[in-house]
Structure 1
Amino acid sequence: MKKVLGVLFFVFCCVSAWSQTKVGGIVVDEDGKPVPFANILFKNSTEGTITNDNGRFYIESEKTYSTIIVSFVGYATREIELKEKVNYDLRIVLQEGEQLDEVVIYSGRQSKKNNPAIDILRKIWAKKRENGINKFKQYEYDKYEKIEFDLNTIDSALMNSKLFKGLEFVFEELDTSSVTGKTYLPIFINEAFSKVYGDNKSKRLKEELIGNKNSGFSSNQSIIAFVQDLYADYDIYNNYLKFFDKSFVSPLSRGGIDVYNYVLADTAFIDNKWCYNIIYYPRRKNELTFKGDFWVNDTTFAIKEINMAVTKSANINWVKEIYIEQEFDVLNDSVFLLKRDYMLSDFSLNKKEKSRGIYGKRTTVYDNYQFDEERPGSFYEKEVDPYDERIYNRGDDFWAKNRLEKLNKDEEGIYKLVDTLLTVPKFKRLYSIGSVLATGYYEIDKLNLDFGPVFSTFGTNEVEGLRIRAGGRTYRGQNDLWRLEGYTAYGFKDKKFKYGISGKWLLDRKNRIILSAGNRRDVEQIGVSLTATNDVLGRSFASSALFTAGANNTLTNINLTTAALEFEPLRNVIFKTGASYRTLRSAFPEEFSLDYIDPESPTGISSQVKQFALNFSLEITPKRKTLGYGVERNDVNDDYSRFFINYSLGIDGFLESDFDFKKVQLFYRKPTQIGGLGRFLTTVEAGKTFGEVPLALLSPVPGNQTLFSIFNTFPNLDFYEFVTDTYVSVHLEQNFGGRLFSRIPFLRKLNLRELVGVRGVWGDLSEQNRLLSSPTNITLRAPSDQIYWEYSFGIGNIFKVFRIDFNFRGNYLDLPDARRFSVTGAFGFFF
């Protein structure tokens, strides 16, 4: 214990010497109730902060100050003398008294002249497209980004816990947050230096990565992709700012007056520019808004400084605090350019004040702006695969020259700390557990293999009974040029082994030419997706569900062999050509028949289909961002659109193939962020089969007999309830993200999220195909007379991890065993 106290005392002394003034505490009113959003300012400075929802605050400065000013609308301003350089646990009482008039927000066409802050806000709106880089035809600049993760709220109990037994040396790197005042331990850092080029006329942008460096975990694509997705770029002048898949209303938004209170608090010279200081805070709780203040120039109405903090009541999971600072440089009398952007996120299981968590911090520094240097359009055409190993192995001289903000002592220590941790067996075990939970694979470094996915180990269906599965993949690093994957499974009811094996090889890195092949023999639920794929290792959840609505017996034995060649001549434009050979027969012929008329069969009926087909496809995914330059890449974002078209040509007689046919399929998905109303997802599928084919090669409308919500299925349809050879399907879903529930007092604290969905499908089945499959015991019908449709209402974020959907059938209610209503659910971790 003495050693721990000694370390803490040493850290305290070091930090005190670094930061000259530290102040923390709580602001309350005369009744002892916390005062949220009160303004805290060092006297004779522009350095300040705002109290949180609970009235608490923390502020520090490298300068020495002797007084803070505490103010809030409707209360008398107080000046608090600071007796020491470090002042914790202050309790400041505000008394009601004269102050700036309270901001009054009017609706409709009534005047808003009573609030000078809103008048200034209107001028910001008018000028926002004339500020910064928007004033120039072309621009370029240097960009240095530093992302750091820290374990926070370190105390003696944590230091002495069994979790850190044998790892006590890590606490030598403790530091204190300048935003929250909490003690933290740095555990990860990533640095990147880039050159950014833009053309406002053609709306083109190019970011060229020059150097990248991180401490540990560099081989784990999932972790790196997660980090990059968290910290996407944003523009404070936009009406909505996206963080953690959520759309927050910007304090500079044109709709800000409907969700924020604004107060003109002060005026001052900053860098020889006269600026107004405006405080803002939310009008209602639970909405995705900020609290903070900004300084804006009195002539250009460009932002000079802004601070934004998300309130704890905001409907966002696993994030206790978000704090943002932006500073702008004055280029000349009319141009303000972004200089530094800092963002801190406090990730935690709950939002209690003393709960432990992880800080995620991003610092971005911009420099060396140049303007109006026009470049040809070809310059902005990004290479598909710009991987350069040198970028990830830059030496110390490079970083000493290109770091636009030097690392402090603690940040420099992270590299050494993580290198040491990776040699400690206990840390390796903890890292392995976390990696398995994140990726589903267990790493076997000595063999360059990953075992998994572990979440597919167990399953059950009526053919196999209990099913166990074991699989793995080769993994030498995130940029492997080739990869082999495989699995084997065993069903205890049918007493049969199944397997799948697949390989892929990146032949050309520049154009991402990939050769792939595989074979699979297994039991599968065909028809849970309208748009067919040749995924050898894929398996639908429908064939392994533990609980189902009705009999889950329409399963198929499949023997699938594929080979394909794909290339990506342009970024996010992928062409693919290949061939497949499959053998299909019912896995449960007593209950589910795939029989069809076959004149060449001795009985006139066949139960098995052998089919060879050539496949040609085009996939376009604009604005998709990926990580990695090997044969496999991880998606960084999920807000991109996807367009996919596939053409299949079945050839009769080749390798004993049974049918001639042509099939065209189209898939389109587009997520749209609709301002403050949440996220709207549109999915459209269409397809047609030309030629006569049996049931096994037709397009069943995807039903869902499980109790789980499965993407792009119809939860009130049974498998094979509708079968088509021509179809058009539309799925629409709106996730309001809690916007409606936040206005209902007794639901507000639950942070629930409301979802509404509508889906429909029209399909047809030719008489020839109906007659061909007439021996089957499945009733062949298509939704051709009228569009089959369903609607649903969902409640998400139940206990932060569960979603429940109430699904209603819109028509075809007179069909035998028609399910009018169903309840499905899904688990997931979402912000």
Structure 2
Amino acid sequence: MKTLYKSYAFAKAITESVLYIGILLFTLTSVAQTKVGGVIYDDFGDTVPFANVVFPGSSEGTITNDNGRFYLQSENTYDKVEFSFVGYKTQTIKLDNRVNLNMKVTLETDTAELDAVVVYAGKTSKKNNPAIDILRKVWENRRKNGLSQFKQYQYDKYEKLEFDMNTIDSSLINSKLFRGMEFVFDYADTSRITGKTYLPIFINESLSTVYGDNEINKELDDVKANKNSGFSNNQTLIAFVKDLYNDIDVYDRYLKFFDKSFTSPVGKSGIDTYNYVLRDTAIVDGVEAYNIVYYPRRKGELTFKGDFWVATESYAIKEINMQATKSANINWVKEIYIEQEYDVLNDSLFLITRDYFLSDFALNKKEKSKGIYGKRTTLFNDYKFDIEKEPDFYRRRVNDYDPEIYNRDEAYWDENRLEKLNKDEKQVYTMLDTLKKNKKFKRLYNIGTVLASGYYEFDGFDFGPIFSTFGFNDVEGLRLRAGGRTYFGANDPWRIEGYGAYGFDDKKFKFGIGGKWLLDKQSRLILSGGYRKDVEQLAASLTKTNDVLGRSLASSAIVSAGNNGRLSNIKLGLAAISFEPLYNLEFRLGTSYRKITTANPGFFSLDYFDADSPGGIQSETNQAEVDFSMTYKPGRKTTNYGVDRTVINEGAYPILFLNYSKGFKDLFSSDFDYDKFQFYYSHPIQIGAFGRLTARIEAGKTFGEVPLALLDVIPGNQTYFNVSGSFNTMDFYEFVSDEYLMVNLDHNFNGRIFSRIPGLRDLNLRELVGIKAAYGRISDENVALNASGLNYLAPEDIYWEYSAGVGNIFKVLRIDVSFRGGYNYLPDARQVAVTGSFGFFF
């Protein structure tokens, strides 16, 4: 569910982006002086991928994509363009016009050149290749270049994030949808990377000073100013976009962004992934440098094509261009283009001065598909070294929000920007201010907000979530639910939420209400409380939580394997206080009172022996409890500073959870004394180009006698959906314990295997494997307490299952097949289970 939440956050961000403009002008306007574009063919009529396109006498050039298509523009005026590739005759074409966008170029095969350099045709050799010899020198000299030479460092950084709508044709512009908003058509421009017309719709600028200490491996980005247009109140979107564009080091083996690991053309893994060709030697910004062209050896892998310049004396990277190949197994992103430039500080020291990242988000990778450009430009300046700071200087504060940062005047920005805004970027501020006052745009925005957030907004109140309106289970039958929350803004210091639900089979009304109040922003001291009366499947999860508004998917599964009738009526009241002494480290102290009974008498019993009850048997469990927990989430990124925060990188960080619970007998007629300890740890691990492994371990033990309602149930899954942390071949309440250990390993190869199989590589499918195991015990005293008729069984011989699956089916569907590996002799044991899930993933 965490991965799905991240995908939902991305979908929400993109939906809101589209709503803020909804259009693009089909014109070509730009300050560039020369533009060329088209397709390169060979003399057999086939396209030529990865061919070189340059303006003669300059270092300005590009490489054709997988389909032989190219686009190149320059602010300078050129009257010629040159096309070349190993094994073909170089062709120079005279340019009669400033703009030439539909060129069809044919390169003739050069037999003599092929004989002379046959080693570089197609897949280049790794031996006797001067380009790879130079690359090995780059590896040897990496530590001699960059910030790693110094104990401490600091520099000024200017970052500009921009969203642009692209590729909208005239028929859409003239449609009824955009009547009344025609004024935005005046702000279009043309991309120097793709040649497509685009309309800037959002700009975020930030100024900061970055401090780092290599001795203690700490870094701090101290933001001095931040300015937005378009989404000025949407800090979640801004943080989400920034998280997409992580800083990268081209010397690393793998470059991570969009939750994927691309093989770096400069890193040591590149030699097995790319073809390299030494193209030229030239002077770049006063430094003699080698120019090396690279392109992937195989289709379907997460790779780039492009070129880089290497200084001849220090073997440091001077410039690099990287464009992701269209065959790369990544969804919703049609183009990825990266430029980095480095400057010389002395004979051997090179430091990055400019980093440019462009991505084209689209539903598909077709040439004419419409999408949204996301662009990040980062400039670096005023490097200083070996200025030591105290270790506490680098500690991340729990609440570092400073409203002054977001209210700098224009004079401040004019003085401190490292790169001035161009005319179109300046006009975006004016255009969006006007657009947000447009009545038609407001209506479109309201519709999109409902679809994106799941809530219908009123003044100070949100109705929803609308996606939870319908449910079904074997006790309630059809279930209808309605709810809402207070909402005055993303940074509200308090919030109240509630819902009501009705089951048409049991003819009972259920409800839940909860509230929380942020008492102190600096420590995030929060007081919370609530009450819930509902039907719940208590056997769907293992690690204990007390959420008065939460409800497991298993409680409302429309279709289930077997009878999902082992449901419980629960009445839960709680109060808690929590705080964060350190960023992402939370402590919580809570108290709760639960009343649990079976929701399906005659089929499922929670009875236990009780000498003080009539007949010696009790059917209701009443329990008062105090719990203390610690949750640590290193690497988690959040936005907003109110009582609710939005997690930006859900599923991409480790989680450590520890909990101690104490049950008190006779307190408010409570039934049992006990002590319970629980431990949970989850860690996603990116294994280079081989995908992501997620390791999860849970353990717990209960000291004292408790009935079935308070025991730990090994989580089964009778739904046809993938549920994290549960066993797909296990039924609910099949195994019960008071002492348990569970291990779960899931690995997603991200298409590493399928990309090498003809017939499968073009489908962009992804391979999934997993294995789960559980061990548990139950005391004789707790077995003897049972009066339910249910045979207590703990997995003392270890219950395990393994799975294989295929993901990214139609880009949204995942199917897993799980196989039972233990306790196959039990009656009605499910040997195989097929489960699926939907989600938007890169």
Aligned partners of 2:596, 2:233: CA distance in 1, in Å?
A: 40
Of 343, 347, 350, which aligns to 2:357? 343
Aligned partners of 2:726, 2:446: CA distance in 1, in Å?
A: 35
* 1:778 maps to amino acid: L
Check the 8 A contact 1:221/1:634 in 2, yes or no: no
Q: Which moved more, 1:296-305 or 1:426-435?
A: 426-435
Note the residue ranges of structure 1 that are not aligned, 5 or more in a row: 1-6
Tell me the secondary structure at the aligned position of residue 603 of structure 1: helix
Q: Could you say which residue in structure 1 is the equivalent of 2:579?
A: 567
Of 248, 254, 268, which aligns to 1:254? 268
Query: Superposed, which structure 2 residues align to 1:429-440 within 5 Å?
Result: 429-440=443-454
User: Are 2:718 and 1:702 aligned?
Assistant: no
* 2:836 maps to amino acid: G
Distance 1:442 1:231, change over 3 A: farther
User: Are 2:764 and 1:760 aligned?
Assistant: no
Of 669, 677, 684, which aligns to 2:682? 669
Check the 8 A contact 1:524/1:539 in 2, yes or no: yes
Q: Could you say which residue in structure 1 is the equivalent of 2:801?
A: 790
Q: In the TM superposition, what is the alpha-carbon distance from 1:43 to its structure 2 partner?
A: 0.8
Q: In the TM superposition, what is the alpha-carbon distance from 1:615 to its structure 2 partner?
A: 0.6
Distance 1:112 1:51, change over 3 A: closer
Give TM-score, length-normalised by structure 1. 0.96
Distance 1:425 1:217, change over 3 A: same
Cα deviation, 1:599-630, whole Å, max 9, x if unaligned, reads 11122111111111111011111111111111
Of 317, 324, 331, which aligns to 1:303? 317
Cα deviation, 1:730-775, whole Å, max 9, x if unaligned, reads 00011000000011101111110000000000001111011111x1
User: Are 2:371 and 1:371 aligned?
Assistant: no
Q: Could you say which residue in structure 1 is the equivalent of 2:147?
A: 133
Q: Could you say which residue in structure 2 is the equivalent of 1:175?
A: 189
Check the 8 A contact 1:103/1:262 in 2, yes or no: no
Aligned partners of 1:537, 1:41: CA distance in 2, in Å?
A: 61
User: Are 2:621 and 1:604 aligned?
Assistant: no
* 1:401 maps to amino acid: E
Of 737, 756, 778, which aligns to 1:724? 737
Note the residue ranges of structure 2 that are not aligned, 5 or more in a row: 1-23
Check the 8 A contact 1:701/1:723 in 2, yes or no: yes
Q: Could you say which residue in structure 2 is the equivalent of 1:778?
A: 790
Query: Superposed, which structure 2 residues align to 1:474-513 within 5 Å?
Result: 474-513=486-525
Aligned partners of 1:778, 1:104: CA distance in 2, in Å?
A: 72
Check the 8 A contact 1:219/1:477 in 2, yes or no: no
Check the 8 A contact 1:146/1:363 in 2, yes or no: yes
User: Are 2:585 and 1:581 aligned?
Assistant: no
Between the aligned residues of both structures, percent identity stands at 61
Distance 1:103 1:537, change over 3 A: farther
Count of paired positions: 815
Q: In the TM superposition, what is the alpha-carbon distance from 1:101 to its structure 2 partner?
A: 2.3
Aligned partners of 2:313, 2:466: CA distance in 1, in Å?
A: 61
Q: In the TM superposition, what is the alpha-carbon distance from 1:113 to its structure 2 partner?
A: 4.1
User: Are 2:38 and 1:25 aligned?
Assistant: yes
Q: In the TM superposition, what is the alpha-carbon distance from 1:433 to its structure 2 partner?
A: 3.3
Q: In the TM superposition, what is the alpha-carbon distance from 1:106 to its structure 2 partner?
A: 13
Check the 8 A contact 1:225/1:634 in 2, yes or no: no
Check the 8 A contact 2:25/2:173 in 1, yes or no: no
Q: Could you say which residue in structure 2 is the equivalent of 1:205?
A: 219
Aligned partners of 1:78, 1:348: CA distance in 2, in Å?
A: 34
* 1:635 maps to amino acid: V
Cα deviation, 1:240-288, whole Å, max 9, x if unaligned, reads 1111111100101211111100000011011111000000000010100
Aligned partners of 2:474, 2:83: CA distance in 1, in Å?
A: 69
* 2:619 maps to amino acid: S
Aligned partners of 2:647, 2:604: CA distance in 1, in Å?
A: 39
Aligned partners of 2:232, 2:605: CA distance in 1, in Å?
A: 51
Aligned partners of 1:293, 1:73: CA distance in 2, in Å?
A: 15
Of 144, 164, 179, which aligns to 2:158? 144
Tell me the secondary structure at the aligned position of residue 141 of structure 2: helix
Of 62, 76, 87, which aligns to 2:100? 87
* 2:588 maps to amino acid: K
Tell me the secondary structure at the aligned position of residue 569 of structure 1: strand
Of 687, 711, 720, which aligns to 2:724? 711
Q: In the TM superposition, what is the alpha-carbon distance from 1:237 to its structure 2 partner?
A: 1.2
Query: Superposed, which structure 2 residues align to 1:4-403 within 5 Å?
Result: 12=28, 14-15=29-30, 18-97=31-110, 98-99=112-113, 101-103=117-119, 112-220=126-234, 222-403=236-417
Check the 8 A contact 2:317/2:342 in 1, yes or no: yes
Aligned partners of 1:105, 1:47: CA distance in 2, in Å?
A: 24
Q: Could you say which residue in structure 1 is the equivalent of 2:548?
A: 536
Q: In the TM superposition, what is the alpha-carbon distance from 1:486 to its structure 2 partner?
A: 1.1
Q: Could you say which residue in structure 2 is the equivalent of 1:3?
A: none
Aligned partners of 2:406, 2:624: CA distance in 1, in Å?
A: 45
Of 639, 657, 667, which aligns to 1:644? 657
Q: Which moved more, 1:711-720 or 1:218-227?
A: 218-227
Q: Could you say which residue in structure 2 is the equivalent of 1:813?
A: 824
Distance 1:138 1:518, change over 3 A: same
* 1:770 maps to amino acid: V
Aligned partners of 1:391, 1:753: CA distance in 2, in Å?
A: 43
User: Are 2:469 and 1:463 aligned?
Assistant: no
Distance 1:55 1:237, change over 3 A: same
Q: Which moved more, 1:666-675 or 1:599-608?
A: 599-608
Q: In the TM superposition, what is the alpha-carbon distance from 1:192 to its structure 2 partner?
A: 1.5
Distance 1:28 1:156, change over 3 A: same
Of 560, 567, 577, which aligns to 1:555? 567
Tell me the secondary structure at the aligned position of residue 440 of structure 2: helix
Distance 1:279 1:127, change over 3 A: same
Tell me the secondary structure at the aligned position of residue 759 of structure 2: helix
Aligned partners of 1:512, 1:181: CA distance in 2, in Å?
A: 48
Q: In the TM superposition, what is the alpha-carbon distance from 1:102 to its structure 2 partner?
A: 4.8
Distance 1:454 1:102, change over 3 A: farther
Q: In the TM superposition, what is the alpha-carbon distance from 1:229 to its structure 2 partner?
A: 2.5
Aligned partners of 2:330, 2:51: CA distance in 1, in Å?
A: 23
Q: Which moved more, 1:213-222 or 1:139-148?
A: 213-222
Give TM-score, length-normalised by structure 2. 0.95
Of 614, 621, 625, which aligns to 2:637? 625
Check the 8 A contact 1:732/1:757 in 2, yes or no: yes
Aligned partners of 1:556, 1:665: CA distance in 2, in Å?
A: 22
Of 719, 730, 733, which aligns to 2:746? 733
Q: In the TM superposition, what is the alpha-carbon distance from 1:443 to its structure 2 partner?
A: 2.4
Distance 1:464 1:798, change over 3 A: same
Check the 8 A contact 1:722/1:781 in 2, yes or no: yes
Check the 8 A contact 1:105/1:257 in 2, yes or no: no
Tell me the secondary structure at the aligned position of residue 122 of structure 1: helix
Q: In the TM superposition, what is the alpha-carbon distance from 1:216 to its structure 2 partner?
A: 3.0
Q: Could you say which residue in structure 1 is the equivalent of 2:9?
A: none
User: Are 2:417 and 1:406 aligned?
Assistant: no
- The Cα RMSD (Å) is 1.7
Distance 1:201 1:8, change over 3 A: closer
Aligned partners of 1:478, 1:580: CA distance in 2, in Å?
A: 29
Tell me the secondary structure at the aligned position of residue 515 of structure 1: strand
Q: Which moved more, 1:306-315 or 1:374-383?
A: 374-383
User: Are 2:606 and 1:590 aligned?
Assistant: no
Check the 8 A contact 1:384/1:570 in 2, yes or no: yes
Aligned partners of 1:216, 1:583: CA distance in 2, in Å?
A: 50
Check the 8 A contact 2:86/2:120 in 1, yes or no: no
